[in-house]
Amino acid sequence: MASAPRFGIWAAVHGSRAAHHDPDEPDDAGWERNRALVLEAEALGFDAVLVAQHTMNPYDAERDQLEAWTGAAALAALTRRIEIIAAIKPGLYHPVVLAKMALQIEHISGGRFALNLVNAWNKAEFERAGLPFPAHDERYAYGREWIGLVDRLMRGEAVNFAGAHFQVEDYRLRPAGTFRPRPTIYLGGESEPARALAADHADVWFINGQPLEDVAALIADVARRPAANGALRYGLSAFVIARETDAEAHTEHARLLALAQRDAALRADTRARTDAASVMFAKTDAAASRHVGTNGGTAAGLVGSYETVAARIRDFHAAGIELFMLQFQPFEAEMRRFAEQIIPRTR
Mean pLDDT of residues grouped by 10 in the chain (347 residues)?
A: 88 89 90 98 98 88 91 98 98 97 98 96 90 95 98 98 98 97 97 96 98 98 92 97 98 95 73 64 62 96 98 98 98 98 96
Distance of CA 279 to CAs 63, 89, 282, Å?
26, 16, 5
At 15 the pLDDT is 85
198, 232 in Cβ contact below 8 A? yes
Helical pair 136-154 and 192-201, crossing angle rounded to 10 deg: 10
CA angle 74, 80, 86 (to 5 degrees): 45
At 275 the pLDDT is 67
At 315 the pLDDT is 98
Cis peptide upstream of residue 330 (ω within 30 degrees of 0): yes
Write the DSSP assignment of 287-328 as a string of letters: HTTT--SSTTGGGG--EEEHHHHHHHHHHHHHHTEEEEEEE-
315, 40 in Cβ contact below 8 A? no
285, 340 in Cβ contact below 8 A? no
d(CA 228, CA 232): 9
309, 240 in Cβ contact below 8 A? yes
155, 181 in Cβ contact below 8 A? yes
Residue type, 81: R
d(CA 313, CA 221): 21
Q: Is 242 left (phi over 0), alpha (psi -120 to 50) or beta?
A: beta
Q: In whole angstroms, how large is the CA radius of gyration of the chain?
A: 19
d(CA 221, CA 213): 12
CA atoms within 13 A on the CB side of 241: 26
At 249 the pLDDT is 98
At 286 the pLDDT is 55
Of 98, 70, 113, 111, nearest to 171 (Cα)?
98
136, 107 in Cβ contact below 8 A? no
d(CA 21, CA 281): 22
Report the DSSP beta bridge partners of residue 187.
117, 205
At 284 the pLDDT is 57
At 263 the pLDDT is 75
Q: Where are the domains of the chain?
A: 6-346
d(CA 347, CA 62): 42
**Which fold, 6-346?**
TIM Barrel (3.20.20)
42, 283 in Cβ contact below 8 A? no
28, 12 in Cβ contact below 8 A? yes
